[in-house]
Chain A
Amino acid sequence: MEELRDLRRRIRSVRGTQQITRAMSLVASTRLRRIERLVDPARTYAGALRRIVVDIAARTPPWAHPLLKPAEVAAPAYLVITSDRGLAGGYNAEILRLAMAHISRVPAGGRGRITVMAAGRKGRDFFRRRGLQPAKEYVHLPDTPDERLARRMAEDLLALYVDGRIDSLHLVFGRFMSRGSYRPDVIQLLPVEKAQQAGYQDRGQGKGEGEDEDEDWDGGENGDDGQDRNRVRDVHQDPNPGGERGSGREEGDGRESHARTDEDRGDFDLPLTYEPSPESVLDRLFPHYLVSVVYAALVEAKASELAARTIAMDSATDNAGELMERLTLTYNRARQAEITQEISEIATGAESLR
């Protein structure tokens, strides 16, 4: 009896958990659908600005502009974007592992002057525990990344750079690949380097032009770090059931046509004229560029987080289902055994009365 009641209680509790995980997966996947729409415009915008910045950098001697001077890597800075909330599988852990891998690679001389900036509560708490007090922290991130936040962050970053408190700037965040996958990535924003692979490029471009190696949009610093590439999370499953699929597919089509138009738009093959001058355009453009990259990274990070949460909650739901099946089987067996025993007891009792 005791065992049966216990099993019943466990089944009920697992069912409750499953209801919660299923609801969380649905909520995450619905929110993802909204955020997903922001990813491409943000990438395109940041990619277009980046091409200008890189072009100016390539034609301007590094000493002519403070943003172009080469880093001595005496005071590197990392802006790490994580989520405020957990229950997203390994999402935050993977981002932070990549960030730590890069931070620990900084030569010992510069170690003392590493600046960490954390967006997202998970990252902030992690760095605090490690004794790396973030110089700036941005918590309670909005559900939908907004331009105001990106602007505030970019202003902080630029101020630190202009004050000389940092001499290089990296961004660590989750690159959104698809609804079923994301990849932790690092990009270098400052200083702007001539053959900078580390910036932003809209996706269509990188995919469409295989020969254009150094313009690969996902360049990042993965080139020198093969292991990052292996961290691709790829779970093939369709997180939206039934009728929702239609809309997802529509979005997919939109993206493809977009990729095609971007393919036609090659890189600058002609010398550009800057009015009034490259330096003055860079002065005005760079803050704008920084905002757009931070914004794009926030959008990608949010999309990755939601993708990760959808995946994690889906598999939790599946696990709960399996567990419930096993428990139900055990329960039925135990019940059967009990009935059998009772019958045999009654039979024995009746036999002995005869």
Chain B
Amino acid sequence: MSHIALRILTMTKVVLEARASSVMIPGSEGDFEVLGNHAPLVTALRPGRIAATCNGEHKYVQVDGGFVVVMPDRVDVLADPADVTPR
């Protein structure tokens, strides 16, 4: 299974940098799941929870908005700054 290099960034810090096998993303047009080799996509985020599966372990990060850039081998979440809380 191909992994995704996931980065969750804000202006002031890197919130999460991990290799994930899947990432659930609350997109402005609806939630979607990203696996390896996803088609390249850019969309805005709505407030919600990003759920990443890293080595069978789940990681959650709450975001209030921002953008996500999906590439076949990586996902960059450019989160709205003030409102990121890892859970």
Contacts and interface: CB of A to CB of B under 8 A. Distances in A.
Interface of A: 38, 41-42, 44-46, 48-49, 51-52, 147, 150, 261, 264-265, 268, 270-276, 281, 284-285, 288, 291-292, 295-296
Contact of A285 (B13, B41, B67, B76): B67
B43 to A, nearest CB: 4
Given A147-B81, A275-B29, A38 B12 contact: yes
A272 B40 contact: yes
Contacts of B10: 41, 45
Given A52-B69, A147-B82, A275-B28, A284 B40 contact: no
Interface of B is mostly: strand
B11 A284 contact: no
B72 to A, nearest CB: 7
Given A41-B11, A275-B29, A48 B66 contact: no
B14 interface: yes
Interface in B1-32: 5, 9-14, 17, 27-29
Contact of B12 (A42, A264, A272, A284): A42
B54 interface: no
Q: How large is the interface on B (under 10, 10 to 19, 20 to 34, 35 or more residues)?
A: 20 to 34
A274 B14 contact: no
B78 interface: yes
Interface of A is mostly: helix
B40 A41 contact: no
Contacts of A264: 5
Given A281-B42, A295-B11, A49 B29 contact: no
Contacts of A274: 41-43
29 contacts: A41-B11, A41-B12, A44-B14, A45-B10, A45-B11, A46-B11, A48-B9, A48-B69, A51-B69, A147-B12, A150-B11, A261-B17, A268-B71, A270-B71, A270-B72, A271-B40, A272-B69, A273-B39, A273-B42, A274-B42, A275-B27, A275-B29, A275-B42, A276-B29, A276-B43, A284-B67, A285-B44, A288-B78, A291-B11
A273 B71 CA distance: 10
A271 B66 CA distance: 21
Contacts of B44: 281, 284-285
A267 B51 CA distance: 26
B74 interface: yes
B39 A44 contact: no
A45 B82 contact: no
Contacts of B81: 147
A41 B5 contact: no
B74 A272 contact: no
A233 B68 CA distance: 37
Nearest 8 CB-CB pairings of A with B? A275-B43, A272-B40, A270-B40, A273-B41, A45-B11, A275-B29, A41-B13, A147-B81
A274 B42 CA distance: 5
Nearest to A272: B40
A49 B79 CA distance: 11
Contact of A48 (B5, B12, B76): B76
A288 B40 contact: no
B15 to A, nearest CB: 10
B42 A44 contact: no
A268 B9 CA distance: 19
Nearest to A46: B11
A261 B5 CA distance: 9
Given A48-B76, A275-B29, A288-B67, A281 B43 contact: yes
